[in-house]
């Protein structure tokens, strides 16, 4: 995709959602951090079904650490990799108490030092809670970066760096959500629904799926 086409493309796909937010349900930076850790290789819908009871019992790092891995596991058995995630959430809660007085840090290195928190998770928290212009590349954004020509790359870091370099700075923070939602609901993995994509004219993907009948 030509650099000059990036802003029009993003404007087009953002028309119905000018101020996007994550679809994970949270109330504090801590509950968002936990929700994002739990969302690895699992849908946001599945996480949102599992977390109400967990967050009611353990709304902060102190309560979560006290609950422990076994207590956390009781709430999250319905999601993928629940055993490892329960251990990570318990451990990160302990470290938040030890290193940051239970407060989620506004710092990438500090976030990535927590169990279960990688670059993508840190980017989500920095973007959503602290307003940083970060790009958390999940499977949807990785696909869109390559498929649309926004920022082709062989791995997630190459796509992230390309998007950060090419997307206009004023659009970078919301673009993270616009691209995730566009990939989730329109530019789908198996076959993109190009016939209803408002940004199709700027996208380099070929051949486009031009009708619902063709899609089926």
Q: List residues with catalytic annotation.
A: 120, 138
Whether 159 contacts 200, CB under 8 Å:
no
Cα 76 to chain centroid, rounded:
19
The label of the residue with tokens 């082709």 reads 152
Spatial separation of the C-alpha atoms in residues 42 and 120, rounded to whole Å: 14
Question: 168-194 burial, b for 16+ CB within 10 Å, e for fewer?
Answer: eeebbbbbbbbbbbbbbebbeeeebbb
Whether 110 contacts 156, CB under 8 Å:
no
Spatial separation of the C-alpha atoms in residues 108 and 66, rounded to whole Å: 26
Dihedral (C-alpha) 191, 195, 197, 201: value to the nearest 10 degrees?
110
Whether 144 contacts 178, CB under 8 Å:
no
Instruction: Pull the structure tokens for residue 171.
Output: 């659009």
Task: Please report which residue ranges of 80-203 form alpha helices under DSSP H.
Answer: 82-100, 108-112, 119-128, 139-147, 156-166, 169-185
Instruction: Pull the structure tokens for residue 184.
Output: 């989730």
């Amino acid at each position: 995709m030509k650099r000059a086409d990036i802003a029009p493309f993003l404007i087009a796909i953002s028309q119905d959602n000018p101020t996007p937010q994550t679809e994970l349900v949270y109330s504090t930076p801590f509950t968002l951090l936990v929700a994002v850790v739990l969302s690895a290789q699992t849908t946001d819908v599945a996480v949102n079904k599992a977390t109400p009871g967990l967050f009611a019992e353990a709304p902060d790092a102190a309560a979560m650490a006290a609950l422990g891995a076994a207590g956390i596991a009781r709430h999250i058995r319905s999601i993928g990799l629940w055993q490892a995630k329960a251990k990570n959430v318990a451990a990160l809660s302990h470290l938040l108490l030890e290193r940051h007085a239970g407060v989620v840090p506004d710092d990438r290195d500090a976030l990535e030092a927590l169990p279960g928190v990688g670059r993508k998770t840190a980017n989500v928290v920095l973007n959503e809670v602290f307003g940083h212009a970060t790009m958390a590349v999940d499977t949807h954004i990785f696909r869109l970066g390559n498929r649309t020509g926004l920022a082709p790359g062989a791995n997630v870091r190459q796509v992230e760096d390309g998007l950060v370099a090419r997307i206009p700075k004023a659009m970078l923070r919301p673009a993270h959500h616009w691209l995730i939602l566009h990939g989730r609901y329109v530019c789908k993995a198996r076959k993109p629904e190009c016939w209803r994509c408002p940004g199709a004219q700027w996208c380099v993907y070929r051949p486009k799926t031009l009708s619902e009948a063709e899609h089926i």
